Amino acid sequence: MNHVMDRPTATPPRPAPAGREAGGRDAGPVTMAAALNSALADALASDPYVLVFGEDVGPLGGVFRVTDGLAARFGEDRVFDTPLAESGIIGTAIGMAMNGLRPVVEMQFDAFAYPAFEQVTSHLAKLRNRTRGRISLPVVVRVPFGGGIGGVEHHCDSSEAYYVHTAGLRVVTPGTASDAYRLLRQSIECPDPVIFLEPKRRYWSREPLSAEGGPAIGQALIRRPGTDVTLIAYGGTVGTALEAADAAAAEQGLDVEVMDLRSLSPFDDTTVAGSVRRTGRALVLHEAAGFGGYGAEVASRLTEQCFHYLEAPILRVTGFDVPYPPPALEQYHLPGVDRILDAIARLQWDDHA
């Protein structure tokens, strides 16, 4: 599993050539960016009503090259650049979906998506409910999110809490290249609007692509089975959690179960609570600030559901309650292996057999 733990680099290499048939039949490892590219290509090929648009996604192929080659292959009627206006991108996607299309749009960076906030929260999320299900909006909003790439201001936000607080949206994020492929295909098929958060620091992580199988869109996945503590992660922190699990085994003699949430909303209570009841201990890990953060909801609902099984309070390991730091300081902000191991050590092990 070491391929998901590649260290991010400040200068992105171009992704491996993408666009292989049906999600890549050759068995060589591919990057998450290439897997996403394959998912978009396969969706465009299988459904003429799928459109891909946003800023610089056309001939350039996106600033992270996730749409590389798609405009050339499918034409600029289906893969195109829009005016530079995020509200306009989401708002027009809503209208296109009202008229039967399946738009997949890109917000160039997490913090650049905020001008579209009203369209996302007041309209994309609510039009189904507003019209008693008559308007269905199968729109996918791809958002490169999170830090760890040495990005300057406004390029590294973890904005998931804003979206999960809005009923009507699905919010998902992949932790690996294969899951990126599958989850994006599932999101495009989904009748609900999906905020698809792409962990930037994992764009260049590689693994052999497995396009078939895997859990459904709303389900969490146990990445590493364990018996002592459930370490709950998502997106960019899945790789960090797996690293921490290996370190905990070596340094603490503990068997950590790593839970990849995949779907932040809806939350897969069955899988996650089932794990916590088995292990009796849990940690929630995310890059975003802790205060009012997603981990608070996870810890709270798991406490309500698993109270009699818990050996310790559920702890959160998160970023600090500060604006995202400049590149020179982000290493102090991002929760890493050491901070996770310290938190694990605080989980009331005195009576542990």
Partner 1 sequence: MITLPDRVAEALPPGGAPLSLIDPDGTVGDAHGVLVMPHDEVLRELLRQMISGRRFDAQATALTKQGRLAVYPSSRGQEACQVGAVLALREQDWLFPTYRDTVAIITRSVEPPEALSLLRGEWHCGYDPYQRNVAPQCTPLATHALHAVGLAHAARVKHEDQVALVLLGDGATSEGDTHEALNFAAVWQAPAVFLVQNNGYAISVPLAKQTAAPALAYKGVGYGMRSLLIDGNDAAAVYAAVHSAVTRAAAGHGPTLIEALTYRIEAHTNADDAARYRDSAEVEAWLARDPLRRLETHLRDRKLVDDADLAQFATEAEQLAADVRAAMNRDMSADPADLFAHVYAEPTPALTAQREFLLAELAGGQDRSLK
Give the residue numbers marked as catalytic. Answer: 155
Span interacting with partner 1, options 2-10, 115-123, 201-209, 288-296, rule CB under 8 A: 115-123
Span interacting with partner 1, options 26-34, 131-139, 248-256, 286-294, rule CB under 8 A: 131-139
**Are 271 and 257 contacting, i.e. CB atoms less than 8 angstroms apart?**
no
Q: Is 187 in the site for partner 1 (CB under 8 A)?
A: no
Distance from C-alpha of 242 to C-alpha of 285, rounded to nearest angstrom: 12
Distance from C-alpha of 207 to C-alpha of 337, rounded to nearest angstrom: 21
**Are 185 and 140 contacting, i.e. CB atoms less than 8 angstroms apart?**
no
Q: Is 128 in the site for partner 1 (CB under 8 A)?
A: yes
Which of residues 13, 29, 75, 95 is near partner 1 by CB under 8 A? Answer: 95
Nearest CA to 56 out of 94, 95, 83 is that of 83
Q: Is 300 in the site for partner 1 (CB under 8 A)?
A: no
Helix (H) or strand (E) holding 273: helix 269-279
Nearest residue (CB) to partner 1, 18 versus 40: 40
Nearest residue (CB) to partner 1, 136 versus 210: 136
> Smallest distance, Å, CB 330 to partner 1?
31
Nearest residue (CB) to partner 1, 126 versus 185: 126
User: What is the DSSP annotation of 263-320?
Assistant: EEES--HHHHHHHHHHHS-EEEEEEEESTT-HHHHHHHHHHHHHGGG-SS--EEEEE-
For the chain, the farthest-separated pair of C-alpha atoms sits apart, in whole angstroms, at 64
Q: Is 167 in the site for partner 1 (CB under 8 A)?
A: yes
Q: Is 119 in the site for partner 1 (CB under 8 A)?
A: yes
> Smallest distance, Å, CB 47 to partner 1?
13
Q: In the beta sheet, which residues pair with residue 221?
A: 260
Q: Is 93 in the site for partner 1 (CB under 8 A)?
A: yes
Nearest residue (CB) to partner 1, 147 versus 295: 295
Q: Is 56 in the site for partner 1 (CB under 8 A)?
A: no
Q: Is 130 in the site for partner 1 (CB under 8 A)?
A: yes
Span interacting with partner 1, options 123-131, 285-293, 321-329, 331-339, rule CB under 8 A: 123-131
Angle between helices 337-345 and 237-251 (to 10 degrees): 60
> Smallest distance, Å, CB 183 to partner 1?
17
String of contacts with partner 1 for each residue 249-268, x by CB under 8 A: -----------------xx-
What are the distances in angstroms from CA 232 to CA 29, 100, 224, 287, 302?
Answer: 26, 37, 11, 12, 11
Q: Which residue type sits at 110? A: D
